[in-house]
């Protein structure tokens, strides 16, 4: 089954926090959209574009701004050879299969359409479509994307599966698998688990996987961040249930905070600088001592676009992980991209390092 998301209303597109929230909610019902489009109801060919998109995909979710809702309903009614009818203060097609406040689902031939009236700063209406599990997203780490594709291709053929793969960072491959009509996703996933036993994570969100496995093992994690500015802590705490495994972390952006809050020595900062293996090691030692956590992550680097120096260009980042009562593992990175992308990659590398050093817990 193929899925499409259509967004109607520029104000929705411009409101990035709301759109991020809406897409996360939609992901709970449809894990993967084969197509995403933004349409303007004032375009002369709006009707044709909308009808064409609906006909191309098995399920279509239309997220429209409040002022476009009734207009879109008229279009859907026309496309479906229907008429509008007043139901619970909504003018919606009379052939509507199921509806709730500001949301309805209608079928056109074999196509399923769910129209939602989205209002900024308000809860998203009920999502009435569901994925039929023809898609699964998962993660494979510590292997390059070419090798992954080479190894998976024969298995895809056996179980009639198509994959789309992308490297979030080197050695962290996110894959979406979709089944053909007679494909078998469950057996495909089982085969991959056997093939990539210590590399396969049956979740597209590694941080969610980490939180769940830490909770099962009764362990806690913390983070001390410099260049990522709290991003790692944010990624952990956005996961429901993270309070069971995370008590807190520290953003030690300035050197005097590194010294006074987590005990990085003056000598280390003067001799090696904040962007160094030595500094990250002491940051990890300090946060483990301060928090009492079982695991700690740390980052220190130059996210840019300014701040580079001789031998430390923009994108130079040190990430580290430490298990209580064990030596720290630290990695030097040279990342590319703008400030936000470097910060995000740094956080991903820190989480990947945690997985690599603790396979018994996470695999």
At 309 the pLDDT is 84
Using alpha carbons, select from 144, 199, 204 the residue that is nearest to residue 177. 204
At 298 the pLDDT is 98
CB 156 within 8 A of CB 196: no
At 134 the pLDDT is 73
Q: How do residues 44-99 score in pLDDT, each as one tens digit?
A: 999 999 999 999 999 999 999 999 999 999 999 999 999 999 999 999 999 999 99
**What whole-number distance in Å separates Cα of residue 346 and Cα of residue 332?**
10
Q: Is the peptide bond before 305 cis (omega within 30 degrees of 0)?
A: yes
- Check pLDDT > 80 for residue 132: no
Mean pLDDT, all residues of the chain: 95
Q: What is the average pLDDT across 223-250? A: 98
At 135 the pLDDT is 80
For domain 135-201, the CATH architecture is 2-Layer Sandwich (3.30)
**What whole-number distance in Å separates Cα of residue 306 and Cα of residue 316?**
12
CB 130 within 8 A of CB 27: no
Q: How do residues 146-199 score in pLDDT, each as one tens digit?
A: 999 999 999 999 999 999 999 999 999 999 998 887 889 999 999 999 999 999
Class at the top of the CATH hierarchy for domain 3-118: alpha beta
At 130 the pLDDT is 84
**What whole-number distance in Å separates Cα of residue 355 and Cα of residue 359?**
6
Q: How do residues 303-336 score in pLDDT, each as one tens digit?
A: 999 999 888 999 999 999 999 999 999 999 999 9
Least confident of 56-70, 118-132, 267-281: 118-132
- Could you please report the per-residue DSSP string of 196-236? TTTTEES-S-HHHHHHHHHHHHT--EEEEESTTTTHHHHHH
Q: How do residues 5-47 score in pLDDT, each as one tens digit?
A: 999 998 999 999 999 999 999 998 998 899 999 999 999 999 9
Question: pTM above 0.85?
Answer: yes
Q: What is the average pLDDT across 109-126? A: 95
CB 94 within 8 A of CB 84: yes
Q: When comparing pLDDT for 183 and 235, which is higher?
A: 235
Break the chain into its structural domains and give their ranges.
3-118, 135-201, 206-362
Specify whether domain 206-362 bears CATH 1.10.10.10: no
At 345 the pLDDT is 98
Residue appearing with tokens 């879109």: 72
pLDDT band at 2 (very low <50, low <70, confident <90, very high): confident
At 91 the pLDDT is 96
């Amino acid at each position: 089954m193929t899925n499409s998301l259509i967004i109607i209303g520029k104000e929705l597109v411009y409101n990035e926090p709301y759109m991020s929230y809406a897409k996360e909610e939609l992901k709970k019902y449809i894990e993967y959209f084969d197509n995403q489009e933004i349409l303007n109801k004032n375009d002369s060919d709006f009707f044709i574009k909308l009808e064409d998109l609906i006909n191309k995909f098995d399920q279509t979710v239309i997220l429209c701004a409040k002022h476009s809702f009734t207009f879109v309903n008229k279009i859907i009614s026309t496309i479906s050879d229907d008429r509008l009818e007043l139901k619970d203060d909504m003018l919606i097609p009379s052939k509507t299969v199921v509806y709730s406040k500001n949301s309805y689902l209608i079928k056109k031939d074999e196509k399923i359409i769910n129209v939602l009236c989205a209002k900024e700063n308000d809860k998203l209406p009920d999502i009435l479509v569901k994925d039929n599990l023809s898609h699964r997203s998962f993660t494979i780490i510590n292997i390059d994307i070419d090798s992954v594709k080479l190894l998976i291709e024969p298995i895809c053929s056996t179980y009639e599966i198509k994959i789309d793969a992308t490297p979030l960072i080197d050695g962290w491959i996110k894959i979406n698998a979709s089944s053909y009509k007679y494909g078998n996703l469950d057996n495909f996933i089982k085969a991959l688990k056997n093939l990539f036993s210590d590399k396969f994570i049956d979740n597209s969100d590694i941080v969610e996987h980490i939180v769940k496995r830490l909770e099962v093992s009764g362990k806690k994690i913390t983070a001390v961040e410099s260049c990522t500015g709290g991003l790692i802590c944010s990624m952990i705490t956005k996961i429901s249930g993270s309070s069971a495994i995370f008590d807190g972390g520290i953003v030690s952006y300035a050197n005097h905070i590194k010294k006074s809050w987590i005990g990085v020595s003056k000598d280390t900062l003067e001799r090696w600088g904040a962007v160094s293996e030595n500094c990250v090691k002491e940051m990890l030692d300090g946060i483990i001592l301060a928090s009492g956590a079982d695991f700690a992550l740390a980052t220190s680097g130059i996210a840019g676009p300014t701040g580079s120096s001789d031998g430390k260009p923009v994108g130079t980042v040190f990430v580290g992980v430490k298990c209580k009562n064990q030596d720290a593992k630290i990695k030097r990175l040279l990342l590319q991209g703008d400030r936000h992308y470097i910060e995000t990659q740094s956080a991903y590398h820190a989480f990947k390092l945690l997985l690599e050093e603790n396979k018994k817990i996470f695999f």
